[in-house]
Structure 1
Amino acid sequence: MIEVNNVHKSFGDAHILKGISTTFEKGKTSLVIGQSGSGKTVFLKCLLGLFQPEEGSISYNGKIYSELDADEKRNLRSEMGMVFQGSALFDSMTILENVMFPLRMFTKQSKSEMQDRADFVLKRVNLADAHNKMPSEASGGMQKRVAIARAIVNKPKYLFCDEPNSGLDPKTAIVIDDLIHEITDEYNITTIINSHDMNSVMQIGEKIVFLKDGLKAWEGSKETIFKTDNEVVTDFVYSSELFKKVRQMYLEERQ
């Protein structure tokens, strides 16, 4: 579990995060949503330990990050997996080498042990025959699956994803959503996804945190987001005609 307590973050005179408090549970897929400039990226970087809040605290299974020493922080980072928006694969490495990279960084496993583990996670994301391909030979969807394999290769307790569906067609986006959700449940990971994609929210949003101008404007689940009267949320969610129709159908079914 990750517990966020009254987190503030500023850059100069710009107050980006303004007292956010929430929790992210183990084995649940949580989405952080909001418009551009809402503070999602800064919030995610605070959760990753890349930014240190000026006020408040973030704890991981009861351990407050700011109170850890350098070795403890390194150990915690080794328990984190990250899927970047653009996949961030190393162009000069094969897919197998990309997936093995965190093992080289954080473990003392032998080469054969690392290869066995990388083989396992590549099979898990349905890329058993892609080991020797270069990233440039892989489609966007394949690259995202490689990024997921790399993120889970070191058996993380925490998985962070930044716009994992960016640049993907709708069908492939659903495949990636389902894969992240399955892995979260299968390995009992605390998963947090930054997203602006309402399809992802409705597909896998077990918990949703909505940010607006650096504040937590709302939180709930995909089941409760249709029920809220919070205008900030409804303006965002129902900006498309499709979701307006979905909400209307939802409300009519319950009358």
Structure 2
Amino acid sequence: MIEVDNIHKSFGEFHVLKGISTTFEQGKTNLIIGQSGSGKTVFLKCLLGLFEPEEGSIIYDGDRYADLNKADRRELRQNMGMVFQGSALFDSLTVEGNVTFPLEMFTNQSKGEMKDRVDAVLERVNLIDAHKKFPAEISGGMQKRVAIARAIVMNPNFLFCDEPNSGLDPKTAILIDNLIQEITQEYNITTVINTHDMNSVMEIGQKILFLKDGLKAWEGTNKEIFKTDNQAVTDFVYSSELFKKVRQMYIEERN
């Protein structure tokens, strides 16, 4: 679980995060949504420990980040898996090499132990025969699955995903969404996803945090988002005709 209490983050005179408080629950897919400039990326970087808020606190499974010493912060970061927007794979390494990389950097496992772990996570993301391929030789969807495998190879307590569906076709995006949700539940991870994809919101939004101008404008589930009268949320969610029709269908069914 991650507990966020009244965090503020500024860059010079630019006040980006303005007192955000929320909780991200373990074993659930927690989504952060909002327009460009709403503070999503800065908020995610605060959660990752890349930015430290001037005010407020972030607590990871009971440990307040501000109270941790350098060694404890390093250990916490090793308990975080990250799926980057562009996958961020090493082009010069094979799929197996990319997934092995964190184990080589942060553990003292033997080569046999590392191979067993890499085989297990690649099998979990349905990449059984891709070990020796290079990123350029596989599809965008497969690259995302490699990125997910690398993110979970250290068996983290926290998984962060920045626009995991960016650049994917709708069918592949749904597969990645489902994979992230399955892994979250199976590994009982606290997963936080930064996204603008409304399909992701509707498919896997067990907890949704909507940011606007650096403030928490709304939070709830993908079921509750249809019921809200929050104007900022409805303007964002139903900016497309498709979701306007979905909302109307929901209202008609309720009546």
What interval of TM-score do these two structures reach, taking the shorter chain for normalisation?
Answer: over 0.9
Map of 1:174 onto structure 2 = 174
**Residue 238 of structure 2 corresponds to residue 238 of structure 1:** yes
Identity of aligned residues (%): 76
**Runs of 5+ unmatched residues, structure 2:** none
User: What stretches of structure 1 of length at least 5 have no aligned partner?
Assistant: none
Distance 1:75 1:236 in 2: 38
2:224 aligns to what SS in structure 1? coil
Query: For residues 214-237 of structure 1, what are the alpha-carbon distances to aligned partners after superposition, in whole Å with 9 as ceiling and x for unaligned?
Result: 000000000000000000000000
Runs of 4+ in 1 over 6 A off after TM superposition: none
Residue of structure 1 in register with 2:129 after alignment: 129
Alpha-carbon distance in structure 2 between the residues aligned to 1:9 and 1:105:
31
1:40 equivalenced with 2:40 (yes/no): yes
Q: Following superposition of structure 1 onto structure 2, how do residues 114-153 of structure 1 map, counting pairs within 5 Å?
A: 114-153=114-153
Q: What secondary structure sits across from 1:132 in the alignment? A: coil
Displacement after TM superposition at 1:249 (Å): 0.5
Q: Structure 1 residue 112: deviation in Å?
A: 1.2
In 2, distance between residues paired with 1:19 and 1:104?
A: 39
Count of aligned positions: 255
Task: State the distance in 2 between where 1:34 and 1:102 align.
Answer: 31
Q: Secondary structure in 2 aligned to 1:208?
A: strand
Deviation at 1:105, TM superposition (A): 1.7
Specify the alignment match of 1:69 in structure 2.
69
| 1:53 aligned partner, one-letter code | P
CA separation in 2, counterparts of 1:64 and 1:106?
23
What is the CA distance between 1:253 and its match in structure 2? 0.6
Distance apart, 1:104 and its partner CA: 1.2
Let me know the Cα RMSD of the aligned residues.
0.5
How does the TM-score come out when normalised to structure 1? 0.99
Correspondence 1:57 to 2:44 = no
1:154 aligns with 2:154: yes
Instruction: Map residues 65-104 of structure 1 onto 2, 5 A cutoff.
Output: 65-104=65-104
Match of 2:252 in 1: 252
Match of 2:205 in 1: 205
Q: Secondary structure at the match of 1:249?
A: helix
